[in-house]
């Protein structure tokens, strides 16, 4: 880059930062004194989630656009390396969404490169949970497997993992794929011991739980281990859509936790199904580009055009990774803000336990006014990086969830259902049950998932919430419940 180009680049950078400070002040963290959003209760919207950024991300995006690399490149490589180091996994591979990450993780288990007894074949079974987001489950059906649904706990929002054994079918069950609901780890000890005993794959959908920590002694381990969710199973997934813990706008990621052999398989499904692992713009990293003989192709056929899977093209842009690198710098503070905001809401609503049920971390038995929890006898602990603040309206409350969320809506407070509720009640799954009943197996009556569907909702905990916003959420819910 010559001196004139560098001078112009620096001036662009200065102006971009200045512009962002002027125009994007309301997107800074809620506790940032530079956040110049004027808040008027009942008039200013309180989102349940949103983008939290400052001039660092805007500058990174513009400078990446000036470089005009476009396809996944140097920023992507840096992001993947830094993310895997943060989470404590072997490899991380960027994709264009969390939903794509789930599709790739499940697709990887169908690869002919895996041992046949562990490969997921059409008609094999994957155990999942009935309550949650549909793209945790959709890949199971999209890959020709049978989805086996177990019930959910209305308090944690997670699978009733004690039902895993009831769902197991020897010779047919090949994997478990479940989400850590709302940032709350599912019972990883029970799940991991079940998977290891039966030689099953475990995919953690970590899209809502980045930064959550689970502590347990698993199997023969004598001492408990504390690790981030997303680093316990075989594969895990992340989403970087704006409501999540960090954002690239769109974007997601597949983590290969420990088995290096899974990386080229995931990469192949992501990159058109090709056998070659050369990054974009690079050739012959195997030093055998014209020396392979695979399938019925002639010997020496260009390795960059040899395909071993029916793959996709699911990569993000390098510009997105540039934004993500700046978000990664802020991730620890974002995680702490989510925890603080959850506690503020819990304390502010503590006297409404007669009409509302509040979420608890997995293995917790109660929340204490001091802000800590009482725990069960398992010895396991969950430290949640909360995606949202989940509540359920009690049957004896004297009002319905619909009435409460409509009141929140009237007061400009963003809220959401617990995603798809009981997914088996959704139109798409009722249709699947009619047209292809063998592709779904249900364990029990799913009464917990039905409770979640009928009574649960959540409000935000994201770092963009100010104390005034949280105070407005608390005051509005209290006003409705006390009237």
Q: What is the set of active-site residues?
A: 244
| Residues 318, 14 contacting (CB under 8 angstroms) | no
Residues contacting residue 426 through CB under 8 Å, at least 6 positions apart: 134, 420
Would you state the structure tokens that stand for residue 63, as one six-digit string? Answer: 């400078």
- Virtual CA dihedral for 109, 114, 118, 123, nearest 10 degrees? 50
Would you state the structure tokens that stand for residue 247, as one six-digit string? Answer: 């954002």
Q: Cα–Cα distance between 36 and 245 in angstroms, integer?
A: 22
At 148, give phi and psi (nearest 5°): -110, 115
Residues contacting residue 421 through CB under 8 Å, at least 6 positions apart: 131, 449, 452, 453, 454, 456
Q: CA quadruple 316, 308, 142, 123: dihedral positive or negative?
A: negative
Nearest to 266 by CA among 417, 144, 102: 102
| Residues 247, 106 contacting (CB under 8 angstroms) | no
Residues contacting residue 291 through CB under 8 Å, at least 6 positions apart: 299, 300
What is the residue-wise DSSP string for 334-371? HHHHHHHHHHHHHHHTGGGTTTEEE---TTEEEE-TTS
Q: SS3 for 157? A: coil
Nearest to 205 by CA among 125, 317, 97, 117: 97
How open is the CA angle 310-315-320, to the nearest 5 degrees?
Answer: 170
Task: List b or e across 380-400, with b for residues whose CB sees 16 or more CB atoms inside 10 angstroms.
Answer: bbbbbbbbbbbbbbeeebeee
User: What is the DSSP secondary structure assignment for residue 152, as one 8-state letter?
Assistant: B
Nearest to 104 by CA among 252, 240, 254: 254
Bridge partners of residue 95, in order along the sequence: 252
Would you state the structure tokens that stand for residue 149, as one six-digit string? Answer: 């649904």
């Amino acid at each position: 880059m010559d001196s004139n180009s560098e001078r112009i680049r620096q001036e662009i950078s200065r102006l971009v930062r200045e512009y962002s400070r002027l125009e994007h002040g309301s997107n800074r963290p809620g506790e940032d004194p530079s956040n110049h959003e004027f808040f008027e209760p009942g008039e200013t919207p309180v989102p349940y989630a949103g983008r939290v950024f400052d001039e660092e991300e805007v500058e990174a995006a513009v400078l990446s656009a000036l470089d005009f690399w476009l396809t996944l490149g140097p920023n992507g490589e840096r992001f993947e390396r830094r993310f895997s180091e943060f989470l404590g996994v072997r490899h991380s591979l960027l994709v264009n969404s969390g939903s794509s990450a789930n599709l790739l993780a499940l697709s990887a288990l169908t690869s002919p490169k895996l041992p046949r007894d562990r490969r997921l074949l059409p008609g094999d079974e994957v155990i999942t949970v009935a309550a949650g987001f549909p793209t945790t489950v959709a890949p199971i059906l999209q890959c020709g497997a049978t989805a086996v649904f177990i019930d959910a706990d209305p308090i944690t929002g997670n699978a009733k993992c004690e039902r895993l054994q009831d769902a197991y079918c020897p010779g047919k069950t090949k994997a478990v794929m479940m989400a850590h609901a709302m940032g709350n780890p599912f019972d990883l000890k029970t799940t991991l011991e079940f998977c290891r005993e039966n030689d099953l794959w475990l995919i953690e959908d970590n899209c809502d739980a980045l930064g959550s920590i689970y502590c347990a002694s698993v199997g023969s381990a004598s001492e408990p281990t504390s690790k981030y969710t997303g680093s316990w199973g075989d594969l895990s997934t992340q989403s970087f859509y704006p409501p999540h813990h960090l954002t690239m706008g769109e974007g997601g990621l597949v983590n290969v936790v420990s088995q290096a052999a899974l990386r080229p398989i995931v990469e192949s499904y992501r990159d058109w199904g090709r056998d070659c692992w050369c990054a974009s713009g690079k050739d012959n990293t195997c030093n055998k580009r014209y020396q392979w003989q695979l399938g019925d192709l002639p010997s020496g056929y260009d390795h960059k055009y040899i395909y071993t899977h029916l793959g996709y093209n699911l990569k993000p842009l390098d510009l997105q990774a540039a934004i993500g690198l700046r978000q990664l710098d802020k991730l620890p503070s974002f995680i702490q803000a989510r925890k603080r905001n959850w506690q503020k809401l819990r304390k502010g609503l503590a006297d409404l336990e007669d009409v509302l049920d509040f979420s608890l971390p997995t293995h917790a038995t109660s929340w204490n006014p001091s802000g800590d929890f009482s725990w069960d006898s398992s010895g396991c602990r969950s430290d949640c990086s909360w995606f949202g603040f989940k509540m359920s309206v009690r049957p004896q409350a004297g009002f319905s969830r619909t009435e409460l969320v409509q009141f929140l809506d009237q007061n400009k407070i963003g809220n959401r259902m617990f995603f798809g509720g009981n997914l088996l009640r959704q139109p798409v799954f009722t249709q699947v049950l009619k047209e292809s009943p063998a592709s779904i197996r249900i364990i029990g009556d799913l009464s917990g998932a039905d409770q979640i569907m009928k009574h649960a909702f959540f409000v935000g905990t994201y770092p963009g919430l100010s104390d005034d916003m949280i105070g407005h959420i608390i005051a509005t819910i209290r006003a409705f419940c006390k009237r």
